[in-house]
A and B are shown apart, each in its own frame.
Chain A
Amino acid sequence: MSEQPMRPATPMLRQIAEHRSLRQRFMGVSVEWKGLAFLLLAGFTLANLAIAFVVVDGRLDGRWYDIRDLGNATAHLRTWMGEQGFHPAVPYVTTALLGALGILSVVGGWLLIGSWVERRVLAKFQIRQGPNRTGPFGLLQPIADAVKLMQKEVVIPRVADRFLYYAPPVIIFIPAVLGWGPVPWAGRMSFLDLNVGVLYTIAISSLGVLGVFLAGWSSNNHYSLLGAMRTVAMMVSYEIPISLALLAVVLLTGSMQLSTIVAWQANYNAWLILLLPFGAFTFLFASTAEINRTPNDIGEAESEIVAGFYTEYSGMKAGLFMGVELGNAILVGAMMSTFFLGGYTMFGLETWIPGYLILAAKIGAVYFLFVWLRGTLPRFRLDQLMGYAWKFLIPLSAAQVLLVAVEASIFVRWEVPAIFPLPAFALLNAALTVEMVRRWARALGYAPEVQQQQPVMATAMGGLKAAQKLRGG
């Protein structure tokens, strides 16, 4: 390379090159990263102080522009429409449509980016990159996938039952959308705040079985039917532990309304996962079975039965089945957050941050756990899963329901501040859960291993310590 220095192209640039101080000045003000960062921090603090002032002042509460709770806006819209003299049906239909639009945009938006998120996070667990070529960070990959799926030729087996073959991709989507109804996103922000919300949730989740079965049966294929029967058997079995776990929640909170359950947890500052650890575990594990996620996805086990109940579906029909799995995953995340993780509340943080953002963060955390399980655990066998449900989860859940019933009656009748009984219950439940699990596992013949064993793979294949050991060091 030549020794000749680079010559600035324009007089302006030459001026900047000659005066060193001009490089870091913008309109006469020194622009350093530190200064910029300080300005940003100050602006952020000031904005937050302003928000805090308004929030503490209480002048925001319940106004239509109070975006901490979008329910305010719709409530105001409803009263405004009522005052304008519309027919009473108009405000209700309008707000119902708005709520439905909200739910559909959550589900639809997730379907748009969900597969990208899942593949990227899963790739991190497997030390790969994941999709990163289409668009920035590979963000357009789901759209490219969708276009590909839609362009595919739809192949329908000649022996398929045409009438029942077309319905399942649609049927299976219904529970994935309807299930969002009772989820409270903020104090006044739930679409369908039924007083039988828990029962509604269980009922809606049991509807998914039918779509799966019809898909498997109408394809007229051994693999499909096998996958469908596996899924149906598993869903029917795992509904019982889910119901028992939710029964414990209902007993303790004394309500089947999802917003009341969240309010109970916010009132006592106690997440139910602390009080009912076994219930939370049961719900999480059984939900993965209900929605066919990987530790329990024997209904569509790729390595055994091609794609299970949707083997014969091609193009966007198969895409719908995959999309439903994604949608169900965050639906279960929302349920798990609402029942066991405090819902949209976060120990008072919901006064400052919109509740729906907190709920979204919790859903993301549970979803991350799902992907983690998928990246870590191998698939269970069918008999293992059924045996686990019937011999392990159901008896222990029933025992837990009994225990919680006693605790709930004590809690209702004992007139002391909740700070005393609740931690006692939490400790008792945790200890009893550990003890029950150990004893029951031993009774079933699964003695917990007492001796710590070195993993075989680690000693044989990897690690510096293993190499040292092999060398005799």
Chain B
Amino acid sequence: MESPGIILAFFALSGVTVASALLVFVARNLLHALAFLVISFLGMAGLFLTLSADFIAVAQVLIYAGSISVLMVFAVMLTPLASRDNGSTLYVIPAMLAAGGLASLIGFVAIDTEWDERKGEALGVSDFTTTVAGIGDLLLGRYILAFEVASVLLLFALLGAIVLVQERRRAGEEAS
């Protein structure tokens, strides 16, 4: 666990992640910000890989870097040109508040956790080899209800999207 490769990878990847996350704020052009956001996502996927969490790493690439970013691209393209500026807005204040709250929460957990229990034997490599099978078992076993609720929610979202974009016929038009 303490081999120089892992430590090097951790610092390189977290450096990339944090730097590109900062550049998301700094970049004025919204699409530049989007590109940096994707780099940040990929860096996080790399961090998951160093933690031997293959599945989460791949899901991170698949969902965030691959799909969410395309969604954001479409969102940016569909907005008027004037609002494509990543300049200062009033949303900075609630965003800063939320970010500060989140950072303090993570910091509190990091300080509060007794890391000595999570070292050595508890972090044996063998515990992490089969995360996929474990995740599958848990999703279709213990957390089946949450899984089903999420899938029903997604199905409704799909149907809702179809209903929203469907051309509405008026009552009078149907007769003609």
Contact = CB atoms under 8 A, between A and B. Distances in A.
Nearest to B67: A206
Nearest to A217: B31
B5 A214 contact: no
Contact of A89 (B3, B59, B77): B3
Given A214-B35, A217-B31, A203 B62 contact: yes
A207 B73 contact: no
22 contacts: A88-B3, A89-B4, A161-B29, A163-B32, A164-B31, A164-B32, A195-B132, A199-B59, A203-B61, A204-B61, A206-B62, A206-B66, A206-B67, A207-B65, A210-B38, A210-B65, A210-B70, A213-B70, A214-B35, A232-B73, A232-B74, A236-B70
A157 B81 CA distance: 20
Interface string B25-60: 000010110010010000000000000001100110
A217 B55 CA distance: 32
B48 to A, nearest CB: 12
Nearest to B38: A210
A196 B133 CA distance: 10
Interface string A203-233: 1101101100110010000000000010010
Nearest to A92: B5
Contact of B66 (A163, A207, A229): A207
Contacts of B4: 89
Interface of chain A, main secondary structure: helix
A232 B71 CA distance: 10
A167 B35 contact: yes
Residue among A194, A196, A207 with the highest chain B CB neighbour number at 10 A: A196
Contact of A203 (B29, B38, B58, B69): B58
B54 A196 contact: yes
B104 interface: no
A202 interface: yes
Interface of chain B, main secondary structure: helix
A41 B139 CA distance: 61
Given A199-B62, A204-B61, A213 B5 contact: no
Interface of B: 3-5, 29, 31-32, 35, 38, 54-55, 58-59, 61-62, 65-67, 69-70, 73-74, 77, 130, 132
B77 A202 contact: no
A89 B9 CA distance: 13
Nearest to A206: B66
B130 A195 contact: yes
A163 B35 CA distance: 10
Nearest to B55: A196
Nearest to A214: B35
